[in-house]
Structure 1
């Protein structure tokens, strides 16, 4: 019997945490992945109203801001800057497809989320990974766990007063756990956290010299602060409103979901699978 081919191993310790976090700051803000995957499936220039029609759980003004931010970040292109000009994925945005597949594969293998749209699954994975310093903490635990939080702070070079809050979030997201129930018990990575090597390698590989150049450039990107989602802010504030919108959209199917009206162009199954009812993002 032939020996099965083993998948390549990716070391969390070998990745550049800063490059990973720089990339996640671009591709991780809420709805960025879902927007990019929708544009990839349609494979044509789309105006704001066309994208918004396929994302009925997001208000159109927010879709417009997200598209503008993605355009400023180089993920989208458009023929000109006139009002109403359509957007489409740039070469950099198109090259995100392998990253999205890796995120989806990791989620399927290590998270018990039930049935949901692939774009929603990718959004969920990015939500767990994109918070500032999370990559560095996971890298420290991978190299030296189990560790108490003061030692994690020392190894990561971070303020120890900041670490407990971030570790609590990583616990909630299923990436870190404690070795016992008592306060002060050491932390270790979960199986999902240990399996992040391939995800980080994919994200780091995608982080092109263009992104590195932007990070070191003294001139800021011309994006209004209101259009960005800060990578260190949890995404739970609008979860109730999003869940209500998802329930409304289920009653009036759109091209995003499984039963689109005949006159609507269908988006293939990678995006059309119905999200779990009532799940806020």
Structure 2
């Protein structure tokens, strides 16, 4: 799971993917960069090289003026983006923003080391004290504390009470990540094929098959079995075990201000 999130989470990956999807044609670096005026062309070029290495895009040739377009794997990211956007709109108090920016913000909250481990630990076990979380995810206490503070700021976890040592619990946003993780896991299946298969034909077949599998929504939480999720639309428009509900007042008192 973290392996897949690390590929789609870096900044400008979503923007670049959505531009290529919207244009639906091979594009040069300068053409993509022209639609990202707040990013330097060199940064766009570097991001595209990483995306090509990760199998999200292809390049027409090896010459300097080669063109890029989405691979089958990159095209199949649309349901992931839609699910992330839907989760963000439902659970995060954000101002109006472009769809790509919203998706990248959501990925930024998940694309941090041990975040998935904490979500899974709380989703499986229910409320846990700080020391138990550190033990569950296999990190030292300072690292666990740093991650939990960031996840509080990101609105994914809170405390079950205001007293010192109150156990951590998933917020509504954290509990609703099941559909997000399910969609990402389903999308990432070709990555498993790339790592385990030595046959290019088998890898290509796995990728083609994946893009034709319809994704359907469900209400699974993080601790439940991961299942397929939602579908894409209008990408650029501005448009577990039961846990105690975290009251807004307690969350506000326990969570530090979120800084990016």
Smaller-chain TM-score bracket: 0.7 to 0.9
1:250 paired residue number = none
Instruction: Determine if the alignment matches structure 1 residue 178 to structure 2 residue 156.
Output: no
Q: Which residue of 2 aligns with 1:51?
A: 32
Runs of 4+ in 1 over 4 A off after TM superposition: none
SS in structure 1 at match of 2:185: helix
How far apart are 1:269 and its partner, in Å?
Answer: 5.8
| TM alignment of 1:45-124, pairs within 5 A | 45-124=26-105
Task: Report the secondary structure of 2:236's partner residue.
Answer: helix
Match 1:126 to one of 104, 107, 116: 107
**Residues in 1 aligned to 2:15 and 2:82: alpha-carbon distance in whole angstroms:** 13
Question: Any stretches of 5+ residues in structure 1 without a counterpart?
Answer: 1-19, 218-267, 275-279
Residue aligning to 1:206: 187
Tell me how large the CA RMSD over aligned residues is. Answer: 2.2
SS of the equivalent of 2:169 reads: strand
Summarize the Cα distance change of 1:214–1:38 in structure 2 as closer, same or farther, 3 Å threshold: same
Q: What corresponds to 2:145 in structure 1?
A: 164
Whole-Å separation in 2 of the counterparts to 1:216 and 1:179: 45
Match of 2:249 in 1: none
CA contact (8 A) 1:23 1:211 kept: no
Structure showing greater relative contact order (alpha-carbon pairs closer than 8 Å, 6 or more residues apart)? 1
User: Is the 1:24–1:130 contact (alpha carbons within 8 Å) kept by the matching residues of 2?
Assistant: yes
Question: 1:175·1:190 contact (CA, 8 Å) conserved in 2?
Answer: yes
Q: TM-score, normalised by structure 2?
A: 0.74
Equivalents in 2 of 1:21, 1:206: separation in Å?
A: 13
**Aligned CA distance change for structure 1 residues 269 and 199 (closer, same or farther; 3 Å):** closer
Tell me by how many angstroms 1:172 deviates: 0.6
What's the secondary structure of 1:188's corresponding residue? Answer: strand
What is the alpha-carbon distance in structure 1 between the residues aligned to residue 168 and residue 85 of structure 2?
A: 26
Please report the TM-score for the alignment, with normalisation by the length of structure 1: 0.69
Q: How many residues align?
A: 207
Whether 1:32 aligns to 2:13 is yes
